[in-house]
Amino acid sequence: MNLASYKSTAEFLHQSEIKKSEVLRITTDYPEMTIEDAYKVQEELVAIKLKQGHQIVGPKMGLTSQAKMRQMNVKEPIYGYIFDYMVIPEGGTIYMNDLIHPKVEAEIAFILGKDIEGTAVTGAEVLAATEHVVPALEIIDSRYENFKFTLPDVIADNASSSRVVLGDHLTKPELLELDSIGVTLSINGEIKDSGVSASVVGHPANSVAMLANMLARKGEKLQAGNIILTGGITEAVMLSAGDLVSAKLESLGEISFKVAK
């Protein structure tokens, strides 16, 4: 692929999000697309959003469970970006008409108090740089038909970033055992899935460290004030209009939102 292909593909994905219309995976037309190509497309997609006046809230990690990495045949997670227009207040509402085929998963978000950069960042360094952690519900919404994609496809599509609900209760990371937080995800009062935070590459701080190391390859860093989604602790569950979605995260509290037409 070349620069023109990166730009046209990014615009194609952007229009899919704007029009709320699913598309065939882009590797159908670009079967040779590499991971590097995919991140180049993502960069162009991010540039489009920034040019429109949107602001980056922070990065997000995906494919952070060992099972998902084995399934996708990768040795490290992937990342994308959350923008300001994607953030929904705790207890707020998302609208199906704004999305294509959304799913929800429960996560832990890290709020950085200091910059993090380097090629050998550790989880301990991440914890030292983290101001607070909060519960989060991420709504992913792949632009691809029937959520069918390859790894380059999903990277190019900004890792299916769509909406996120952030908890309003801030907790200092040193007050928690962040690798052993039990999580339940419920819809309309029925538990749909549960998990433990260690499923995120052993410890959510490890996810942030991996992200810092991946960005360092491009000469980039994590910045103070970034809110970083560390990866799904539960499976992603399909949403429908009328749903009341909630999650309980031990020691971190509860979080919820509503789904309307």
For 214, the token pair is: 């991946």
3-state secondary structure of 261: coil
Contacts for 211-220: CB closer than 8 Å, 24+ residues apart = 211/59, 211/61, 211/77, 211/79, 212/116, 212/117, 212/118, 212/121, 212/126, 213/118, 213/119, 213/120, 213/121, 214/76, 214/79, 215/59, 215/79, 215/117, 216/117, 216/118, 216/119, 216/121, 217/119, 220/117
Residue 75: its pLDDT value, please?
Answer: 79
Residue type, 18: I
Nearest in space to 204 (alpha carbons), one of 105, 107, 136, 66: 107
Paired with 238 in beta bridges are: 103
Count up the domains in the chain and report the number.
1
Contact 95, 260 (CB under 8 A): yes
| Boundaries of domain holding 103 | 3-260
* CATH number of the CATH domain containing 248: 3.90.850.10
pTM, two decimals, is 0.95
- What count of other Cβ atoms lies within 10 Å of the Cβ of residue 147? 17
What does the alpha-carbon distance between residue 259 and residue 18 come to, in Å, rounded to a whole number? Answer: 19
Parts of the chain with a pLDDT under 70: none
Report the Cα 86 to chain-centroid distance in Å.
Answer: 11
Nearest in space to 160 (alpha carbons), one of 169, 173, 176, 149: 149
Report the Cα 133 to chain-centroid distance in Å.
Answer: 15
List, in sequence order, every beta strand (DSSP E) within 25-112. 56-62, 78-83, 87-88, 93-95, 103-112
Residue 74: its pLDDT value, please?
Answer: 79
Residue 23: its pLDDT value, please?
Answer: 97
Residue 56: its pLDDT value, please?
Answer: 98
